[in-house]
Structure 1
Amino acid sequence: MFSKLKVLAVVGATFLLPLMVSVGSPDSVMSMSAVAAEKKEPKYKNVKTRKRQSVGKTCAKALDRVQGEKGPISAAGELGEKEDATPLWLEAKSMLNDIERRPKVCRSDYEKSQVWNMLGYIHYSMDDFTGATGYYKKVVEGAGTPPEMKLDTRYTLAQFYAMQEKYALAVEQLEIWIDAAIIVGLDARMLIAQLYYQLERKADALKMVEIAIDESDAKGILPKETMWSLQRVLYYEKDDLKKVTSILQKLVKHYPKWTYWKQLGGMYGSQEREIDQLVATEMVYLNDQLTTESQVMSMAYMYLGAEVPYRAAKIIDKGMSDQIIEKTAKNLEVLGQSWWAAKDLPRALKAFESASKESDSGELQSRIASIYLDLGNDKKAYRAAQKAAKKGSVKNASSNYATMGSALVNLHCYKDAISAFKKSVKAAKTKKKKRFPRQWIKFADAEGNRLQRLRDVGATVPGCNKA
């Protein structure tokens, strides 16, 4: 079974889109003073065709001095991006404030709404969003504001509220706007979906974002990355991992980012789809996007779980060479286990010995003893097993004593071997595990007696060589 990757965080710090505030410049004075309304398709529901309200001559002249060809608003618009327009905006603001203070200049409710609209635009242009919000709120609440203008301004006002994290007020304006608008764009749906999310209205957020995705599909256009991203978060919080996985599969296909591949691997792991998890994570690894020790070690553990120890060892070894994985006793021990499972005993021995230098333990020495025995180095196997027994904390003490006994038999130290095998029998916890050392006791006793008889008749036979 795979060692599970901890599910990578799917929820970001915030999913509120960077707000591109839609604020158009105020209409020209000439258009404001027009009397007859143009015939056109209605932009909003339930809006009756009526005459357009007009701006009186006195007000029109005053506003023209602000935004006409020679006015500061027009001059500010003609400046280059790197030129400072602040003095011009301040001049325009001062002129409009003066108009506000003189009730006879722009006296009608409609004329006042035009002044407030201009002031809102000026404050916005100076990055004074609080000031802009105040004036656009006046436009929305103004008795003389035309319904169409009021609705347009509601959308702008909602964006300003969102920028100031006044999400409930933003939603209030947007819900009125959406209810009245004939056409609701995808960006507007995403904006309100994200605001619903901020207000913990997650069912409403999911409904709105899925409408946006469905509308994108119906138009034959690719849903925006932010749509799937928010949808993914909402399903993750519903613990619908299959749906999250499906969304991430779309994201890695259409908006490929390594963070999505990592999250996809985490989702596969959570559903015990180990091979899929391995493939997704390998994709990230091969592109050098696993950059922390925990990420690379998790990859290695996955290969160990998939019974591909050689690949696990290569990953850890490279991670250490690249200085991503620290050469701690624990990491070196895992490297040794991987090489040992891959039947590469020399490299396993090297890793275990390096680990023992960092934090020696009885268990490490027992592993080292076993490898030395397999490599035919009986003296070192005996010494390592002896060292392991002295240190203690060996997971399988019976096996360690059996290793010691086997090394001593090979060194023709039969009495010592019998003593080691007896300790192995004593440490064994089951009858089955006691059987192996007991068989070796019989063999060592018989072989020792046989060689002793040969010595007794003058034959040259090898003696104990453990020193």
Structure 2
Amino acid sequence: MRILRSLAVVLCVALVSLSATQTFAADKPKPVKPQTRQTQVIRAEVYKKMDAAQKAFEAKDYNGALSTLDSIKAGYEKLNDYEKASLWNMYGATYYTKGDMRAAINAYINVLQQKDLPEGLKNAGLQTLGQLYFIIEEYDKAIAVVKKWMSVMTSPSPDSYVLLAQANYQKKNYAETERNLIEALTIAKTQGITPKENWLALLRAVYYEKKQYVKSAKVLEILVSLYPENGSYWQQLAGMNGLLEKQQEQMNILHGAYRAGLLKSEGDYLNLARLYMVYEIPYPAVRLLAKGMTAKIIKVNAETLQLYAQALVMAKEYDRQIPVLKKLSEMTGESKHFVYLAQAYFQLDKWPEAADALRSALKAKNVNKPAEIQVQLGNALYNAGKLEQAREVFEAAAKNPSTAESAKNWVKFVTTEIDRKKALAK
């Protein structure tokens, strides 16, 4: 035979991400269906109707459940206190499930007004009422009810302090929120309970709001150790270390998250690649960027191709750099990207290809310091054995004040080489 159970509501605090604004909201309470049988208290004729109401509730026929409860309420004066409390308790569960929070609140107020209320029903009623006030954002009432609930409990639970903390957080009472959460964590420790994610997430948010970033990072370290499967904690911890200018720690954390398969976004991939390069370990950056582009996590655009090319240069992967820079220069049409391509060819002693890239650079968009590009072109032509062409280019560069001295020296040197070769030919 089923027994009439009190409504129990579990309130959860929403998890946070490291951003400029932090918000929290209660997860919707999940009502536990009221008990339907306690024959020594609830009379048979009342039980029969309550049982029918509960069956309608379980079938999600909430209007049917309310209609049956209304029929019980019609004889309200004849009900004993426990029957009245049980009736209002079931009303509360049904109204909550229908989304009518005000009606649910009124129902639980009526539960608590009954005389000789069993402790279990009283405690559950106060807890639920406090949570419902929280949901409708009446935080002062929520705090008052939760405090009353805690006062009648022999030993307040960690959850009661967390509910109090959440309401105080919404009121921006961060110092009080911190005290509530520390109390919850202390009780949990004495009882051997692992701190819940939402408790620690809220504490992290409090420290962030108070600009106590070192403490916020410490809480994130605990979250990472207890809940390593949640990639957002790794990201937040990395970001916090970046905020604290601990870039090497930031890199190590992101590296660990990447190895664990927890990095999913383009931003995370690019941040980690840049950190590898800052600390002059380009090979992981090359692998990461290649993998990200292949998996389409990283978009192929001018910014990402340039970063990839830079990583390849640092890794001295000059051959692999060429196709990347070709694609980059074709994509943008920018003079500087053709210059980068020419410099890659220089590393491979591919002088004709370097000369072609530099000619393209002089014709491309946004040419910057063309005389310097001419000097590089002259160098490429000289090394390619095109001495007459090289001299013409150096002579053009010599007309620019910024490169006149070096270009004139090159003109003299190349002219000497041309004369020497002519002499040898005779």
Distance 1:229 1:161, change over 3 A: same
Question: Is the counterpart of residue 300 in structure 1 residue 270 in structure 2?
Answer: no
Post-superposition CA distance 1:235-256 (Å, at most 9, x none): 1111222111111111111122
1:106-121 alignment, distance < 5 Å: 114=82, 116-121=84-89
Question: Is the counterpart of residue 224 in structure 1 residue 193 in structure 2?
Answer: no
1:306-317 alignment, distance < 5 Å: 306-317=279-290
Name which of 62, 67, 90 aligns with 1:122: 90
**Partner residue of 1:375?**
348
Q: Read off the aligned partner of 2:73 and give its amino acid letter.
A: N
Distance 1:373 1:86, change over 3 A: closer
Question: Is the counterpart of residue 16 in structure 1 residue 26 in structure 2?
Answer: yes
Question: Is the counterpart of residue 94 in structure 1 residue 70 in structure 2?
Answer: yes
Question: Is the counterpart of residue 161 in structure 1 residue 158 in structure 2?
Answer: no
**Partner residue of 1:39?**
none
Distance 1:305 1:437, change over 3 A: farther
Is residue 309–residue 321 contact of structure 2 (8 Å, CA) maintained in 1? yes
Is residue 16–residue 195 contact of structure 1 (8 Å, CA) maintained in 2? no
Q: Read off the aligned partner of 1:446 and give its amino acid letter.
A: T
**Partner residue of 1:240?**
212
TM (norm. structure 1) is: 0.75
Distance 1:10 1:225, change over 3 A: farther
Distance 1:85 1:358, change over 3 A: closer
Displacement of 1:81:
9.5
Is residue 236–residue 244 contact of structure 1 (8 Å, CA) maintained in 2? yes
Post-superposition CA distance 1:251-297 (Å, at most 9, x none): 11112221111111111222222222112112222333333333322
Name which of 50, 53, 61 aligns with 1:73: 50
Distance 1:341 1:304, change over 3 A: same
Question: Is the counterpart of residue 407 in structure 1 residue 377 in structure 2?
Answer: no
Is residue 57–residue 65 contact of structure 2 (8 Å, CA) maintained in 1? no
What is the RMSD of the two structures over their aligned residues, measured on CA atoms?
A: 3.4
Cα distance in 2 for residues equivalent to 1:152 and 1:313: 58
Distance 1:405 1:164, change over 3 A: same
Post-superposition CA distance 1:115-151 (Å, at most 9, x none): 5423321213423554332132234457x56696766
Distance 1:411 1:95, change over 3 A: closer
Displacement of 1:392:
5.4
Count the aligned residue pairs. Answer: 404
Cα distance in 1 for residues equivalent to 2:382 and 2:256: 50
Name which of 422, 441, 450 aligns with 2:411: 441
Distance 1:30 1:327, change over 3 A: closer
Distance 1:202 1:19, change over 3 A: farther
Displacement of 1:209:
0.8
Cα distance in 1 for residues equivalent to 2:183 and 2:177: 10
Cα distance in 1 for residues equivalent to 2:385 and 2:151: 95
Distance 1:188 1:442, change over 3 A: same
Name which of 334, 340, 352 aligns with 2:325: 352
Distance 1:322 1:86, change over 3 A: closer
Tell me which moved more, 190-199 or 114-123.
Answer: 114-123
Name which of 11, 34, 43 aligns with 1:64: 43
Give the number of the structure whose alpha-carbon radius of gyration is greater.
Answer: 1
Distance 1:223 1:414, change over 3 A: same
Is residue 336–residue 352 contact of structure 1 (8 Å, CA) maintained in 2? yes
Cα distance in 2 for residues equivalent to 1:150 and 1:408: 92
Name which of 255, 270, 293 aligns with 1:282: 255
Question: Is the counterpart of residue 333 in structure 1 residue 310 in structure 2?
Answer: no
Distance 1:274 1:422, change over 3 A: farther
Cα distance in 1 for residues equivalent to 2:365 and 2:69: 84
Cα distance in 1 for residues equivalent to 2:342 and 2:49: 88
Distance 1:150 1:80, change over 3 A: closer
**Partner residue of 1:170?**
142
Distance 1:454 1:178, change over 3 A: same
Question: Alignment partner of 1:259: what SS?
Answer: helix
**Partner residue of 2:421?**
451
Unaligned runs of 5+ in 2: 1-16
1:38-57 alignment, distance < 5 Å: none
Displacement of 1:356:
1.9
TM (norm. structure 2) is: 0.82
Displacement of 1:438:
5.0
Question: Is the counterpart of residue 205 in structure 1 residue 177 in structure 2?
Answer: yes
Displacement of 1:91:
6.1
Distance 1:402 1:20, change over 3 A: same
Cα distance in 2 for residues equivalent to 1:81 and 1:153: 19
Tell me which moved more, 200-209 or 82-91.
Answer: 82-91
